[in-house]
A and B are shown apart, each in its own frame.
Chain A
């Protein structure tokens, strides 16, 4: 705005100086105040432009940070079970790239949109005041600015879609060949694949250019109107100055007003031209935003019945895990758990067994507070599930790129080096640790070689060890482990039991069943002691 205003003033000053210098033949030194004012306005304009860019960049940054925080919140609300339905890569891409795509829209397109509504209007007002006939020329050459923008928009949209589709196709072709390069090498066909790549690129290029030739026309129209408007205004003013036109305000034209109008004419179109350049930002941002909103919508948890643990008839006990009348069903499926009543004492070792799909994992997720029952009450040591930190060992262990210490500190940031080393030794990772030069500070996957599945599981178990949780939930802790790792996991769980922790785990494994004080059979919505 300020920049736009400064532009108008600058052009006015420029025209004044020219008028006084050339028509009135005032020598330059006498025009010095005008020159100084002109320089001041130019600097002011630059300053305003710089500030605007600065402000836009900051706004967009703050906005992206807010969207990311909101996404985080929606992840947390949805919980680990809900998130598992989408691949981590997809979610990460949304969190990073989709949010990034909002940048151009907020930093460039929106400010420009505001400018292209305001600045041409201001210019029109000034020109109207100078010479209404010239103002009408400007107005006519941009018949209706909204119409113009629609034209530009349509063209840009089409261009954008076409362009990105072709680029996508082409890079798809390229990546496909790169992915299968080994196969091509095996059969000695890389040269012919290169030829295919080249000819296909050419085909695609020809197709795109056909549509682009049409799409570019819309911006050519804009360009045409802008050029013609300047030309018409220039010739009109020229003839007016010569006194050839005796209609309307023309006889009053001076070099000042004429030049002023001429200088403003290109500025009249400039904001719209810039807007059309930023149009692709809008398309990209709208696409990303709609996907983000859809994701947040899908992640929104099912409406939870308002459940308060510790209702009157079942007082929440600080040393019991208690479930009363818990019912849970997924849409269009028979109930996973139906009318579950269960009490687990502090320090008890409970094994859940039963056929796969019988509801073992669901029960564990309920106890963890990752999902909530449709009906009934559930309390863990007198609090709603998930209120207090607890140990969780999922079936798919996860590793962090970094050192052993980084991996353990992810869940327990305050752990000491000694405690970390001790926890790792407890799960039988001692020998591996000793073979690494920097002990717990060496990277887990050294030389690009990762841990085996069993080693990774034990690393996850070490996370449970290092924190002093009362409750530890384990989902199939020995499934798919090699014999070596299995022994360590069993031993570690035994130690946890000895330490008086409450353990609840699902398993089919005989050795684990013998470790338990209590075995629950989970099947067809029922849970009963086996």
Chain B
């Protein structure tokens, strides 16, 4: 439960909405129960009166109040149900956005190194499904459970008022038992099975991918069939766990149904007893069991939701683990957001030197170090080229300067920099928004000028939406070289005095490269530039070169 706490707190930050949504559900429920109970009351009352009338006894029953009530309940139930669904769906979408934003701020506060193991499409798709799992926490779990308790209380209270304590106690006992059966017990009995489901599925997925990647070898060794059977067994055992959980949920649902029905029977039994002693009128005797039967509606939604408790816990646990610690409140996060970067580049007061690497070693795990006792000093205003073959540690130097990586030993001091990473990262957004990331204050004119410099202006001037052209998966497709030039343009827009360009011209053909290298020169003026590449020809103009 501790794992769910931060998410519960997040959800509860919209108390007004949650309460309104819950009230709508309550209204729906009460109208449903009222409709049936009042109808039962009405029938019994009319039956008794009808018999008396037939026997010639003067009798009178008010038809208009219950008749109107029945119609009112019928309409209320429909309207409330509709309103409840619309309103609560809206709430779920809001909560989903809240959860995503919270996660994003948490992730932004973490540093790159701690996220290194979290890359890759599997992790990202897991993140999505985990978030989706959490978004139903309120609508499927909290609200129905809370309301079930409330409505049960109302019914038991009503039984006490209309009947006696004995009736209320028996009803209460049976219903509380049903409540426990559909909530606590279900979640306890399925938690173990559903908690590890996501992990089990991941394990099976890995094995399936291995099976497919090694399919040639397995076929050659005559083992494709046997190994395939192993996959089926693995998947089968996960499916069996799930089936077991589903079966338990099914039995709990059936059990709670039995209990609720038994409560209705008990209400009838005691009611008839009271009726015989003239302590209760006939119509009320019928009203109570029918109201109890109406409870079944909310009880029946509970086992399924609580059966997924384990999955929710698992999702929350993973998100807590992978997405950094909670930063508490959002107001604090905006200040914290870029902490991961800033801490490494604290010591900007380096005098004439823009960058000082002193005796730096970088190594990952047990592998030989990428950089060993490396020192580098770059004066402000210098243009330095760093060249070396792939794997020589170029990108590590760039990451160190940008503060994306910390040195295993040695010290790094560097001014805040604009860094063009080896991968060209463009967002699913407009060209303009993509460029403005480099400098939010840049005018459209600035943007066109920098696009001109990287020889992309003509390309976008020809498109109908120009700077507002949508990029990325849903938008305009760019080649690798074109994406590179946009990423370069974004970096050059930055006002920071230190530029780190890691392989700035990857995927750009030779002719364009020379043209662009000349054209961007004005943007490099007065800045310290460190450009890295596998050869000097792959770099813009430089004063000095270092080979690794």
Query: Given the complex, which residues of A lie within 8 Å of B229, measured CB to CB?
Result: 72
Q: B347 on the interface (CB 8 Å rule)? A: no
A31 CB, min distance to chain B CBs, angstroms: 7
Which residues from chain B contact A460 at a C-beta distance below 8 Å?
217
A198 touches B258 (CB 8 A): no
Contact with B along A156-196 (1 / 0, CB 8 A): 00000000001100111111111111111111111111101
Task: Report A457-511 residues with CB < 8 Å from chain B CB.
Answer: 460, 463, 467, 473
- Taking a contact as CB atoms closer than 8 A, the residue among A69, A107, A173, A238 that contacts B42 in the complex is A238
Among candidates A53, A72, A173, A180, residue contacting B425 with C-beta atoms closer than 8 Å: A180
Query: Is the pair B239, A242 in contact by a Cβ cutoff of 8 Å?
Result: no
Query: A144 in the interface, Cβ–Cβ < 8 Å?
Result: no
Q: Are A96 and B208 in contact (CB under 8 A)?
A: yes
B67 within 8 Å of A by Cβ? yes
Q: Contacts A23-B48, A172-B473, A179-B124 known; A190 to B337 CB distance under 8 Å?
A: yes
Please state if B47 and A255 are interface contacts (CB–CB under 8 Å): yes
How far is it, in angstroms, between the C-alpha of A7 and the C-alpha of B35 when the chains are bound? 20
Q: Provide the main secondary structure of the chain A interface.
A: helix
Q: Do residues B115 and A181 form an inter-chain contact, with CB atoms below 8 A?
A: yes
Number of residues on chain A facing chain B (CB within 8 A): 141
B240 contacts which chain A residues (CB < 8 A)?
Answer: 61
Q: What chain A residues lie within 8 Å of B543 (beta carbons)?
A: none
**Majority secondary structure, B binding face:** helix
Is B222 touching A388 in the complex (CB atoms < 8 A)? Answer: yes
- Is the beta-carbon distance between B70 and A170 smaller than 8 angstroms? no
Instruction: Check B82–A217 contact: CB distance below 8 A.
Output: yes
B contact residues around A410 at 8 Å (CB): 210, 214, 217-218, 223, 227
Q: Which of B15-23, B105-113, B380-388 is found at the contact surface with chain A?
A: B105-113
Cβ of B96 under 8 Å from chain A: yes
Question: Once the chains bind, are A170 and B74 in contact (CB under 8 Å)?
Answer: no
**CB–CB A23/B47 < 8 A:** yes
- Interface with B: A35-43, A115-123, A329-337, which one? A35-43
Q: Is B246 positioned at the interface, with any CB of A under 8 Å from its CB?
A: yes
Q: Tell me which of B73, B104, B265 contacts A197 (CB under 8 A).
A: B104
Cross-chain contact B108 with A231 (CB below 8 angstroms): no
Q: What 19 additional pairs, Cβ within 8 angstroms, besides A39-B262, A50-B254?
A: A18-B268, A45-B257, A64-B235, A96-B235, A167-B132, A172-B474, A174-B131, A175-B124, A176-B473, A181-B115, A205-B94, A227-B74, A242-B53, A254-B47, A392-B217, A400-B214, A401-B206, A448-B117, A467-B221
Which 10 A-B residue pairs are closest in the complex by CB-CB distance? A53-B250, A392-B220, A447-B365, A234-B39, A201-B97, A46-B258, A50-B254, A190-B108, A227-B74, A255-B47
A-B contact pairs, 10 of them (CB 8 A): A35-B265, A57-B247, A96-B208, A176-B428, A185-B341, A230-B39, A234-B38, A234-B43, A411-B221, A446-B366
Name A residues whose Cβ lies closer than 8 Å to a Cβ of B.
Answer: 10, 14, 17-18, 21-23, 25, 27-28, 31, 35, 38-39, 42-43, 45-50, 52-54, 56-58, 60-61, 64-65, 68-69, 72, 75-76, 79-80, 83, 88-89, 91-93, 95-96, 103, 107, 166-167, 170-194, 196-198, 201-202, 204-205, 208-209, 212-213, 216-217, 219-220, 223-224, 227-228, 230-231, 233-235, 237-239, 241-243, 254-255, 258-259, 262-263, 266, 368, 370, 386, 388-394, 396, 398-401, 410-413, 435, 446-449, 460, 463, 467, 473
| Residue ranges of B at the interface with A (Cβ–Cβ < 8 Å) | 35-36, 38-40, 42-51, 53-54, 61, 63, 66-67, 70-71, 73-75, 77-78, 81-82, 85-86, 89-90, 93-94, 96-97, 100-101, 103-105, 107-108, 112, 115, 117, 121, 124, 127-128, 131-132, 201, 204-206, 208-210, 212-225, 227-229, 231-232, 235-236, 239-240, 242-243, 246-247, 249-251, 253-255, 257-258, 261-262, 264-265, 268-269, 272-273, 275-276, 282, 285-286, 289-290, 293, 334, 337-338, 340-341, 364-367, 402, 404, 418-419, 421, 425-429, 433, 437-438, 440, 472-474, 490, 494
